[in-house]
Amino acid sequence: MEDVDPEHRVTPVNQATLVINPGVVPEHRVEFITPLWLAYASAFYFPQGKNEARLPPIYPLGETPEARQLFVATATPVLTRWKLDDQSPHLPRQVDILREGRVFVVEGELTSHRAPSWFREHESAYAYRTLTWTNLGDLRIPLSFEVTRENLVSGWQGDGGRSITAKAVFTGSLQTATLGASVSSFIPQIPEVTRVEENRLAVAPEKVRGITYLTKKGRILPLSEVRTLDAFQWAARQQGRPLHHTRLQVWYGIFVMVVALVPLATLLVRKTIPHAKKHQNH
């Protein structure tokens, strides 16, 4: 029988899609999300009074998509340098995520090697720059910005061979901006029927991501309930994660208890019947 995602047996009509990721940094799965977050929503992330620290990865290091995915799963802090604007809300002028002379590849598991000498000049794996600024009320925000990332694309070659590098440049510009959000209303209302993609268990002992379900009356399930979903078991199987199946354990425990009680019940009956007959003779 085909192993079908419980949430995809019937295509439901949902009003919205919500992706819940671990940590405070948006997961780098869609290229445009990270630059937008850096440009307009990252001021709180950078420690004040510093310009360098090891931080949760804004952009996961790794020379392949698989390596970057594992880098996210391990939540490895990376050396990050930045300069913030001196005007409120103190958004970054520039951000560099550094390799520290290492390249990350997958060799059964996430592995780092010393970068080949010719590649060490590419120290910044991910670089953000605000190009121009504009004012919005009392705030100064980016009007245009640019992101450059560079990776090896043909794997680990060492000093004996030069791999090809891939360099991607993304640019963005602000078209319109209004002051409309407040702290009390900033978090959007969750529609009653929302498709949720739960990824917080990716950094839990289960290491399972992409668990999908539909909300009822806009209620987001706590992780304790997510673990009981058929969608959780399905995602775990798809990702090859060994799990202790809670439901199976419960039924197995009940079965063992019943089997263990049968001999005890039989013994009690055998002891009770002769006693009853003896009592009748008196």
CA distance 18 to 115: 38
Please say if the pLDDT value at position 233 is more than 90: yes
Residue 27 CA, chain-centre distance (Å), reads 6
Cα–Cα dist 212/235, whole Å: 9
- Two structure tokens written together for 186: 């900033």
The per-residue pLDDT for 253 is 46
Amino acid 74 reads: T
Provide the pLDDT for residue 94. Answer: 96
Q: Which residue has the higher pLDDT, 109 or 155?
A: 109
Unique residue bearing structure tokens 């009770």: 272
Please give the model's pTM, rounded to 2 decimal places: 0.65
Query: Is 160's pLDDT higher than 70?
Result: no
pLDDT at residue 249, as a whole number: 45
The per-residue pLDDT for 121 is 65
How far, in Å, are 37, 267, 269, 282 from residue 277 at the CA level? 84, 16, 12, 9
Mean of the pLDDT values across residues 65-76?
Answer: 74
In residues, how long is the chain?
A: 282
User: What is the Cα–Cα distance from 193 to 144, expressed in whole angstroms?
Assistant: 36
Place of tokens 């000049």: 121
List the chain domain ranges. Answer: 1-24+189-243, 31-173, 245-282
Please provide the average confidence, as pLDDT, over all residues in the chain.
77
**How much is the average pLDDT of 31-46?**
87
Q: Which of 147-151, 181-185, 192-196 has the highest mean pLDDT?
A: 192-196
| Alpha carbon distance 171, 194 (integer Å) | 32
Q: Identify which has the larger pLDDT, 83 or 270.
A: 83
Cβ atoms within 10 Å of 234's Cβ, excluding its own? 20
Q: Residue 81: which of 58, 97, 60, 100 has the closest Cα?
A: 97
- Could you tell me how far CA 185 lies from the centroid of its own chain? 25
Give the pLDDT band of residue 232 (cuts 50, 70, 90): very high
Q: SS3 of 209, please?
A: coil
Cα–Cα distance measured from residue 153 to residue 119, given in angstroms and rounded to the nearest whole number: 12
* pLDDT tens-place string over residues 194-230: 999 998 888 788 888 889 999 988 889 999 999 999 9
pLDDT at 252: 45
Q: Phi/psi of residue 174, each to 5°? A: -80, 130
CA 8, 11, 13, 19 dihedral sign is positive
pLDDT at 78 > cutoff 50: yes
Q: Which residues contact 9 (CB under 8 A, 6 or more apart)?
A: none
Residue-wise pLDDT for 47-69, tens only, equals 888 999 998 888 888 777 777 77
Token pair belonging to 71: 């880098």
**How far is 173 from 144, CA to CA, in rounded Å?**
4
Task: Assign 174 a pLDDT band (cuts: 50, 70, 90).
Answer: very high
Whole-number Å distance between alpha carbons of 112 and 17: 36
Q: Is the predicted pLDDT of residue 91 greater than 80, yes or no?
A: yes
